């Protein structure tokens, strides 16, 4: 079964750091584009970051709101995606979900999502 | 960056109703437009990609149309399981931005 399971969320003070993990099963993370998407309490979906597959060069991109503070990466041996979050702010409080980005002909969409892990930034 | 704007933000309807949700892009995105459904406490699920292509297993009462900057999602006859929040998303350029969502509630 294709599945994504996030972990690593929790309560952190403003300015602190946290590393989120996304363990994949049923497929190989390195062969897909993988993203992080967040949802603040009661709010909509916000795209955070993408990591291209190894075959596509492993490029990374970030939303302006997290650029320079967050870093996406993966461990192919553990089939796990990560999001390192530094200099956290109150506005980063959200449920963070990883998602698989797939293409059908020329169109791309998220076809598998994790349940998410809650990050709360508060003093 | 491309901004996506949905309307309405919320909508009350009854089982059997036909409903339409609109999504507008701040610049042309051709037909690179997806629709997701998110039920409370659940992860989003893709319904439609490329404006009008139904994901396998999605009921045919869901349909999408549009191109350029104006898009619509139509549910032809609402069923109880359709009451959820719907998001559009552009995949034309990174960042692949979402609309703010449309919450569909039971009247």
Give the closest of A44, A61, A97 to B94, CB-based: A61
Nearest to A93 by CA among A35, A36, A39, A22: A39
Could A104 and B43 be called an inter-chain contact, meaning their C-beta atoms sit closer than 8 Å? Answer: no
Mean pLDDT of chain B: 96
Rg (CA), chain A: 14
Model pLDDT for residues A45-78, shown as the tens digit of each residue: 999 999 999 888 889 999 999 999 999 999 999 9
Query: In the prediction, which pLDDT does B107 show?
Result: 87
Q: What share of chain A is helix, strand, coil (3-state, %, to 5)?
A: 5, 55, 35
Model pLDDT for residues B51-80, shown as the tens digit of each residue: 999 999 999 999 999 999 999 999 999 999
Interface with B, mutate which of A100, A109, A117, A118 (most B CBs under 10 A): A109
């Amino acid at each position: 079964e294709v599945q994504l399971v996030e972990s690593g969320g929790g309560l952190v003070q403003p300015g602190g750091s946290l590393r989120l993990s996304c363990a994949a099963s049923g497929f190989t993370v390195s062969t897909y584009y993988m993203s992080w998407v967040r949802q603040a309490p009661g709010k909509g979906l916000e795209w955070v970051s993408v990591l291209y597959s190894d075959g596509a060069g492993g490029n990374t991109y970030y939303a302006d709101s997290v650029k320079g503070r967050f870093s996406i990466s993966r461990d192919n041996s553990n089939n796990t995606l990560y999001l390192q979050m530094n200099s956290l702010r109150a506005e980063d409080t959200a449920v963070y979900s990883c998602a698989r980005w797939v293409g059908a002909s020329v169109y791309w969409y998220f076809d598998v999502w994790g349940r998410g892990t809650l990050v709360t930034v508060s003093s | 960056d491309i901004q996506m704007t949905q309307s309405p933000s919320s909508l009350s309807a009854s089982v059997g109703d036909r409903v339409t949700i609109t999504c507008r892009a701040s610049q042309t995105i051709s037909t690179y437009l997806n629709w997701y459904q998110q039920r409370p406490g659940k992860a989003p699920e893709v319904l439609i990609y490329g404006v009008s292509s139904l994901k396998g297993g999605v009921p045919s009462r869901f349909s999408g149309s549009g191109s350029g900057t104006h898009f619509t999602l139509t549910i032809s006859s609402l069923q109880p399981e359709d009451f959820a929040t719907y998001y559009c998303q552009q995949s034309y350029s990174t960042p692949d931005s979402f609309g703010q969502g449309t919450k569909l509630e039971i009247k």
